[in-house]
Amino acid sequence: MTREELMKMSKKDLKNRLAELGKKAQALSGQELTDAMDEARNIGEILDEIKTREELMAAAAAAGNNDPEPGKGSEPGEGGEEPKNQIRAKNGKALKDGKAVSYKAKVLVNPRNAMTTERVAMPQHSSTEISPAFNNVSSLIDRVKTVPLPGGESYKRPYVVSYGDGAGSTTENADYNVSEPEFNYAEIVREKITAYAEEPEEMVKLPDADYDSVVEESVTRAIKRYASRQILVGPGGTGKFRGIFFNPSEEKEQVIDPETDITTITAIDDGTLDEIIYSYGGDENVEDIAVLILSKKDLKKFAKLRDKQGRRVYTIVNHGNTGSIDEVPYIINSACEEIGGTKDKYCMAYGPMSNYEVAVFSDIDARKSEHYKFKQGQIAYRADVFMGGNVVAKNGFIRVKNPSA
């Protein structure tokens, strides 16, 4: 759809259209995928403009310049929604009064993830919106597929282990060849993730909306950092994330076969990227929507590599926590070891981000206390959320591991 056509749509219809594009993205390629991404980008820009108008109207209403009718929204299909700054003010006052508040779990995930995980390949994404200073939160949590399951205990995701491969020639009156697909389930169990922080009592003097914003930023930042690491190194077991680098002891629970691990890379050279890319996937295709997850140290090695003429071997494009290496998208995550480092440790993973799912079982519950460090003039607050994650596609990622010897 053109931008002009999109401008005529309501906010609700725009969101529905974005969700529709997200569902179609997996099957698109080439120019169709490019057009879909352009349309999704236009929708994002229009929604940002709508949000700005809503905030201006809310500010005008607060100043007495505009009194909207009760129950009326600023956009068709959005009636009855309370302006975000009023919600923040209400939450901020509640926190100051020592009451519990709840933040929607969607704050843990970048809202632009509605275009599914193919958006990770978009080079213009930057994780600076998570942290405007030195970033210590990987955008990995924004890129995997998230499933809201409020109140749930666990979640089973079916996946295909193998397709039937028994087709063949059959003589007259003989039995048909058996060609049955094999299925399995990836289980996601909920893990309680908590965050605790202390702030000086001067924070209470902030306007209510600002106070709530500081609290929400602090707890969600800590939770996102933890969850982003667990997507890779979650140890499995009862009430734990099952990370991409996790190897269950029972073979039937191994979504990723350890035999597919690459253990021959001891240093980054001009053939490293090709070795990873062409080792992943089936025998009949090369994946073009996969993402490389690596440490900043290894990204630096890719960037510093030179040929005999002193020219760069790889073209690196950086966008904060993400970017591309020779047009192959990457995400930095500090949970990755570096190539040539600790023996028998995982260094990289490569695959589509849609092959990992995070289930969010609750909103974030936050509480404040002024009693714990009353003498020091510190305000303490804590927050918790229930989440879990697992790889949900057979051999959904190929992993690079330092050799054991």
Q: Residue 157 belongs to a domain with what CATH number? A: 3.30.2400.10
Are residue 177 and residue 253 in the same domain, yes or no? yes
Are residue 220 and residue 369 in the same domain, yes or no? yes
Are residue 53 and residue 108 in the same domain, yes or no? no
Are residue 168 and residue 289 in the same domain, yes or no? yes
Judge whether 391 lies within some domain.
yes
- Among the listed residues 77, 82, 80, the one whose alpha carbon sits nearest the alpha carbon of residue 16: 77
Q: How far is CA 5 from the centre of its chain?
A: 30
- Number of domains forming the structure of the chain: 2
Tokens (6 digits) for 34: 């490019």
Residue 189 forms beta bridges with which residues? 154
Residue 171 forms beta bridges with which residues? none
Judge whether 87 lies within some domain.
no
Are residue 133 and residue 222 in the same domain, yes or no? yes
Judge whether 304 lies within some domain.
yes
Are residue 72 and residue 113 in the same domain, yes or no? no
Are residue 59 and residue 109 in the same domain, yes or no? no
- Give the domain-ending residue among 21, 48, 81: 81
Q: What is the pLDDT of residue 1?
A: 79
Q: How many Cβ atoms from other residues are within 10 Å of residue 99's Cβ?
A: 12
Are residue 34 and residue 131 in the same domain, yes or no? no
Rounded CA-CA distance 101/64 in Å is 28
Contact between residue 356 and residue 244 where contact means Cβ atoms under 8 Å apart: yes
Judge whether 96 lies within some domain.
no
For residue 146, the enclosing domain spans 103-405
Are residue 121 and residue 46 in the same domain, yes or no? no
- pLDDT per residue of the chain (405 residues) written in tens, 0 to 9: 787 788 888 888 888 888 887 777 767 776 777 777 778 878 888 887 787 777 777 666 666 544 444 444 444 444 445 576 777 777 777 766 767 666 666 556 554 333 333 333 334 333 333 334 445 577 888 889 888 888 888 888 887 776 666 566 767 777 666 656 777 888 899 999 998 877 777 766 666 656 666 766 777 788 888 999 999 999 998 899 999 999 998 888 899 999 999 999 999 999 999 999 999 988 777 777 899 999 999 999 999 999 999 999 999 999 889 999 999 999 999 999 999 999 999 999 999 999 999 999 988 887 877 777 777 777 787 888 999 999 999 999 999 999 987
Judge whether 94 lies within some domain.
no
Judge whether 92 lies within some domain.
no
Contact between residue 226 and residue 388 where contact means Cβ atoms under 8 Å apart: no
Judge whether 151 lies within some domain.
yes
- Give the domain-ending residue among 50, 81, 112: 81
Rounded CA-CA distance 39/60 in Å is 32
Rounded CA-CA distance 223/10 in Å is 33
- Give the domain-ending residue among 11, 46, 81: 81
Rounded CA-CA distance 257/301 in Å is 28
Are residue 68 and residue 199 in the same domain, yes or no? no
Q: How many Cβ atoms from other residues are within 10 Å of residue 248's Cβ?
A: 14
Are residue 59 and residue 114 in the same domain, yes or no? no
Are residue 115 and residue 172 in the same domain, yes or no? yes
Judge whether 97 lies within some domain.
no
**Strands, E, within 182-245: which ranges?**
182-189, 191-200
Rounded CA-CA distance 329/322 in Å is 7
Rounded CA-CA distance 11/15 in Å is 6
- Among the listed residues 225, 245, 224, the one whose alpha carbon sits nearest the alpha carbon of residue 234: 245
